[in-house]
Chains A and B, each alone.
Chain A
Amino acid sequence: MTAPTATPPASSQKDNGATTESTGARILRALLTQRIALLAVLVVVVVVWFFVLDAGGYLTAPYNFDYMSASLINAVPLAMLGLAELLVILSGRGGIDLSVGAIVSLAGMIFGFAYGEWGWGLIPAILLTAAFGALCGALNGFLVAYVGFPALIATLATFYGFKSLAIVVNNQSPISTPPIQNLFSITQSVEIPVIGANIPDVPLGLFTFLLPTVVVVWLLLARTTYGRRLYAVGTNDVAGRWAGIPVRGTRFKAYVYAGLISGLVAVVTVAQFASARPDAGVSGNGMALPAITIAVLGGVAITGGIGRVAGVVLATLLIVWLNAGILLAFIGNEGAQYQLLALGAVLIFAALLNGLTTRRYGGTR
């Protein structure tokens, strides 16, 4: 009887405490508890820092708005796959997709066949690639949501499968027929009409692929029943089932959408390399682990149910502009080696901050 009446005064007291804080403490609190604000500040800090270094003559090439804009082409695949991971990780129960890079490779080869060898039109070829990506995602989703595999294992297995098929399907060789080579034009920078003369040229892929994906995923999560259900299922599986949510179907669809996005990334990647490479998504560190890193840095809780589109986008901007700057800070190609170190450092920094925040303010939003 006393418990319910005791709660409101406690919370209002906390509010009073917040308003009597000094302005500095309040700003600090806002920064620490709101991942979006923290990321925005970090992006500004990184950019200003490199501008200062540039002005001081420490960089090997000018770091200006033109360079920043051109480097955004690297943000396209990274942010899109980050959003794919957002959907999957949100779905909860250890949701994760290690196979996105392998899907990019395999779907890229499909795109190479359809557009480069079978002579399909661009739009049908893109649709086929996206549908194929969704099919790969559906396999993941089926294993995880309906059969009950742990997501880590299921997507690890499909990662191997897709990766191997992508290499075998065209005898290890890339497809780079003339239509594929001409596709490079969609990643080039263009001047935006009307206001284009005053701002730097922007890579075309940003408008044709990234922006639509961001808007659609945002609408899906924030404005549809499906979005509400996904957050509910990710937060608490059992509660979701008792609330009458089709838990399995909801989780299944998250993996299908992730596959679909990976299919679109495949088209971007093929265009970027001007060639459908069988190892496009898995060479080096692959694409899956950086995408997961971006999602986590963007404030997506690995336990599911928490995460926002804006966080993923800001995290991508932070990493892309940081990497672009690091590349200029060293002579030659040496900077590329330091990018991974920087990524790891930023991620640990973010995780530490999270821990601190949880202890002090009771969790980030």
Chain B
Amino acid sequence: VRVQRRQLLAYLVTGLLVGLASCFVIAQGTSTLDQSVGSGKELAVIAAVVIGGTSIMGGRGSVLGTFLGALLVQSVTSGVTQLGWKSQLADLFVGIFIIIAVGTDLLRERARRAS
């Protein structure tokens, strides 16, 4: 396998998808198009991917998991406001979910290695 070419392609596709996402953000029609609209998104995205079961060490992960992870992050965020709690508390729950998701992963890994 030509490793370098594959890795280049991975970053290329990432850039492509970011471009696509930015089109969507524009289409969403936030009243002003701010240059800083995307900053701070990268950590939220990593959170969604990790919750979706992608290993941070590489080599494991799925599209469906990532989709569900993103869905979970978003529903936690809107759920917290629906419950009438302060919307800023949502980030706390995202953090807790990351811990739980990766924690179960670790436990499973440990159990597998023990057996």
A216 interfacial contact with B, CB 8 Å: no
> Which residues of chain A are within 8 angstroms of B40 by Cβ–Cβ distance?
286
User: Is the CB–CB distance between A161 and B96 below 8 Å?
Assistant: yes
Q: How many residues of A contact B (CB 8 A)?
A: 25
Interface centre among B39, B40, B92 (most CB of A within 10 A): B92
In the assembled complex, the CB of B30 is this many whole angstroms from the nearest CB of chain A, namely: 18
* Cβ proximity bits B82-103 to A, threshold 8 Å, 1 near / 0 not: 0000101111101110110011
Within 8 A of B (CB), among A97-122: 98
User: Is the CB–CB distance between A98 and B43 below 8 Å?
Assistant: yes
Contacting B102 at CB < 8 Å: which of A150, A161, A168?
Answer: A150
Complex Cα gap A158–B89 (Å): 13
B21 interfacial contact with A, CB 8 Å: no
> Which residues of chain A are within 8 angstroms of B94 by Cβ–Cβ distance?
157, 160
Complex Cα gap A286–B41 (Å): 12
Complex Cα gap A284–B102 (Å): 28
User: Is the CB–CB distance between A164 and B56 below 8 Å?
Assistant: no
A152 interfacial contact with B, CB 8 Å: yes
Residue of B with least CB distance to A171: B86
A148 interfacial contact with B, CB 8 Å: yes
A167 interfacial contact with B, CB 8 Å: yes
User: Is the CB–CB distance between A168 and B88 below 8 Å?
Assistant: yes
User: Is the CB–CB distance between A168 and B99 below 8 Å?
Assistant: no
> Which residues of chain B are within 8 angstroms of A163 by Cβ–Cβ distance?
91
B111 interfacial contact with A, CB 8 Å: no
A338 interfacial contact with B, CB 8 Å: no
Contacting B91 at CB < 8 Å: which of A98, A152, A161?
Answer: A161
Complex Cα gap A150–B50 (Å): 11
> Which residues of chain A are within 8 angstroms of B88 by Cβ–Cβ distance?
164, 167-168, 172
In the assembled complex, the CB of B77 is this many whole angstroms from the nearest CB of chain A, namely: 11
User: Is the CB–CB distance between B57 and A150 below 8 Å?
Assistant: yes
Complex Cα gap A158–B94 (Å): 10
Within 8 A of A (CB), among B50-102: 50, 56-57, 86, 88-92, 94-96, 98-99, 102
Within 8 A of B (CB), among A16-56: none
In the assembled complex, the CB of B58 is this many whole angstroms from the nearest CB of chain A, namely: 11
Residue of B with least CB distance to A151: B56
Interface centre among A150, A156, A161 (most CB of B within 10 A): A156
> Which residues of chain B are within 8 angstroms of A153 by Cβ–Cβ distance?
50, 56, 98, 102
21 A-B contacts (beta carbon < 8 Å) = A143-B99, A147-B103, A147-B106, A149-B99, A149-B102, A152-B46, A154-B102, A156-B43, A156-B46, A157-B94, A157-B95, A157-B98, A157-B99, A157-B102, A160-B43, A160-B91, A160-B92, A161-B91, A164-B88, A165-B92, A286-B40
**Contacts A152-B56, A161-B92, A168-B86 supplied; 18 other A-B pairs, CB < 8 Å:** A98-B43, A149-B99, A149-B103, A150-B56, A154-B102, A156-B43, A157-B96, A157-B98, A160-B47, A160-B92, A161-B91, A161-B95, A164-B90, A164-B92, A165-B92, A168-B89, A168-B92, A284-B36
Which residues of B are in contact with A by a Cβ distance under 8 Å?
Answer: 36, 39-40, 43, 46-47, 50, 56-57, 86, 88-92, 94-96, 98-99, 102-103, 106
Which residues of A are in contact with B by a Cβ distance under 8 Å?
Answer: 98, 143, 147-150, 152-154, 156-161, 163-165, 167-168, 171-172, 284-286
User: Ordered nearest first, which 10 A-B pairs have the shortest CB separation?
Assistant: A160-B95, A164-B91, A161-B95, A157-B98, A164-B92, A167-B88, A157-B95, A160-B91, A150-B56, A157-B99
